[in-house]
A and B are shown apart, each in its own frame.
Chain A
Amino acid sequence: MIELNDVHKSFGKVEVLKGITASVAKGEVVCIVGPSGSGKSTILRCINGLESYDRGEISVEGLKVDRDATSIVNIRTQVSMVFQRFNLFPHRNALENVIEGPLYVKKESRAAALERGRALLAQVGLAEKADAHPPQLSGGQQQRVAIARALAMQPKAILFDEPTSALDPELVGDVLGVMRKLADDGMTMVVVTHEMGFARDVADRVLFIDGGVIVEQGPAKALLNQPQHPRTQDFLRRVLHPL
């Protein structure tokens, strides 16, 4: 469903992606792990055209991702994104955040958008917070509203860019719980994360990225329990046993 073929990307003179080739099948949950600055987030941002890429090709359901083409809107409505810093619209309440896309991008009727918006807020456990504005919500609640906002577009896949990295530790579980349910329901997900437990339990496949290349990839449990490459082993040791 999502195909990356030899994708290169530089910021100025720094090459952050040095030929990424990967694919994500329908219904698959793929976690991307790796050290900071390895290019994990950049991959996600290239997939929905928030960032351009220099070489290679990315396609979503056969449609080439080109952020300068009008088709990018089409791709973005099919591939939603959840951000590390939530990026909710602070001037609108939770429900308005969720229905913004359906109402103004997909031009759905207000009644239909509201009905699904309420259902989605209930799905992420925030039915009673529909009228709250983002500053009145905790980080975990904001991120769950952001997930509902992404779901409201009825996307074929959702990209998660370190969705729990900005959360207090005790709020991480709520967000991961919602994501796990989505995975169980068959949503196609690409998740950049440092939550190795989530990756092991929920992901079908894990990509380990370092220095702009895929160092190792494979089934989640196998890769995380018995990493083959020394860099993967080193990274996992540091993440799992920091002391």
Chain B
Amino acid sequence: MKGFWRDAVEFFPILLNGVALTIIVTVGSLLLSTVLGLLWAMMRVSGIKALSMLSASLINVIRGIPIIVLLFYLYFVMPDLGVTLSALQAAILGLGIAYSAYQAENFRAGIEAIDKGQIEAAQSIGMGWWLTMRRVVLPQAVRIVLPPYGNVMIMMLKDSSQASTITVAELALQGKLIASSTFKNTSVFTLVALMYLTMSIPLILLVRHFEKRAGKR
């Protein structure tokens, strides 16, 4: 135990660099997946067949490819096509695209859960499609969508470790590097696990808060 504390003090600052990258990858890909997911969901419920089908196929293609393969593709294959991305850019892009499919399905479920009468009321005062979405449907859907959205945040935080496979030195990879040079596997990976947990717990509490709020109405 004493050994662990000594190792912890020694490795913590190095691992913090990893934490910074983990947060950057998570937040970056969360934002990207939210924007893309919202776009796919809007296309899906637009009522325009071509857009809806395009979005459905996109979602299925994205869902059918493992994240790690998507990352390899962006980082190793894109340069052959003349697009060179840094490891960090590829990680954010890959995770963002991969998770946009889940975000889209979540957003769509939230939008479709809104009572049809709400949409009719909006139409009956002359609102068009976009105004109905912006003023009536989306504000109500947010409440429904937030708890699953929080869960996606937690999953993305953990899945950001997959960026290590394309050399992004985030928390998991930092840990692996230290472990393989010091052979202190137990201390290092315990510390890494605790640091992930420390970041997850606030998110877990946030989800619980969202769920309580959603249940109120």
Contact = CB atoms under 8 A, between A and B. Distances in A.
B141 to A, nearest CB: 10
Contacts of A198: none
Contact of B217 (A73, A74, A90): A90
A105 B134 CA distance: 12
B140 A87 contact: no
Interface stretch (A19-27, A78-86, A176-184): A78-86
Interface in B88-130: 115, 117-118, 120-128
Contacts of A135: 217
A66 interface: no
Interface of A: 48-50, 73-74, 76-77, 80-81, 83, 85, 87-91, 100-101, 104-106, 135, 149-150, 153
A87 B217 CA distance: 15
A83 B121 contact: yes
A91 B124 contact: no
A116 to B, nearest CB: 14
A48 B127 CA distance: 13
A91 B139 contact: yes
A105 B125 contact: yes
A90 B122 CA distance: 12
Contacts of A88: 121
Contact of A81 (B115, B124, B135): B124
B214 interface: no
A153 B121 contact: no
B126 A105 contact: yes
A224 B46 CA distance: 46
Nearest to A88: B121
Given A77-B125, A104-B135, A105-B127, A89 B118 contact: yes
13 contacts: A80-B124, A80-B125, A83-B120, A87-B115, A89-B136, A91-B140, A100-B125, A100-B135, A101-B125, A104-B127, A105-B131, A106-B126, A150-B124
B117 A101 contact: no
Contacts of B122: 89
Given A90-B217, A91-B139, A91-B140, A76 B125 contact: yes
Given A81-B124, A88-B121, 10 more contacts: A50-B120, A76-B123, A89-B118, A89-B136, A90-B140, A91-B140, A101-B127, A105-B127, A149-B125, A150-B124
Given A100-B135, A104-B131, A104-B135, A87 B118 contact: yes
B7 to A, nearest CB: 52
A87 B126 contact: no
